[in-house]
Structure formats: structure tokens, C-alpha cells
Amino acid sequence: MKKIIYFLILTSFSFYAQKKEKIVFLFDQNKDSIILKNNYRIYTIGNNQTFKYSVKKHKEINVTYEKIKKHVVSTHDFLKKNKFKKDPKYYNEYLFYIFIRNNYKSGCLVEVEKIWLVESKIAD
């Protein structure tokens, strides 16, 4: 009986240990940008942080700000929090979302993944 109880507890804790932390970045219409492509969108937010929404892979949903506010963090604070993690692997520890405000109460929550882009052209 004791073993079963320990197994149950360990399973539960291991489930929580694997769960990724949700991070929501707020989209600032004055500073941030979206590139629209056929099957995906690229969001550039904060200090040139780029995230990709793929139509076939990600979801988007209308939510109230109240529902997501506990997950909201600025890109600056996010990078500061992880500044000692030099390995970009740490991005795999999170689930990223971008919140695009429609009005003062609600907006569109877009599931995204972190991507790294290179310069579109190099002039000599």
C-alpha cells in the first residue's frame, strides 16, 4: 500500500516537473511587427525577439486579459530571468504565447514558437 502511495505521489510530481511554464508576451502595436506569410506569421517583439505562428501547428484563441495576466512578462524581464542560461535550450522549457489586445478587456492569444532569423540581405 505504501509503495502504491509513493508511486502515485511521484507520478504526480513527475507530471508537474515536465510541465512547461507558459509565457505570454504583450504585442505592442506601436513598436512590434508582424510579417504575414501564406502559412505562417512572424512576430518581432521587444528587442528583436522573433516568434513564429504556424497555421498547421499552433492555435489562437480569444481570451480576456484577466485570464492570462499571471503569465504576462516582458521580453526584457524574460531575458533577464534567463541571463545566466547561455544555452538556448532553455527556450524549450517554456510555452510561448503572444497576446494581441482587441480592447481594454480582451484580445487574441496566439501560440507561437521561438525562432532565430538571419539578415534578409547583406550589402557590401
Residues that bind other proteins (CB under 8 A): 1-2, 5, 8-9, 12-13, 15, 36, 38-39, 41-42, 46-48, 52, 55, 59-62, 76, 87-89, 91-92, 100, 102, 108, 113-124
Nearest 5°: phi and psi at 17?
-65, -35
Minimum distance, C-beta of residue 120 to other proteins, in the bound complex (Å)? 5
Q: Please tell me the number of Cα atoms within 13 Å of 14 on its side-chain side.
A: 6
| Residue at grid coordinates 516582458 | 74
* Pick 26 or 41: Cβ nearer other proteins: 41
Interacting residues of 90 by C-beta distance below 8 A, sequence separation 6+: 82
Minimum distance, C-beta of residue 98 to other proteins, in the bound complex (Å)? 11
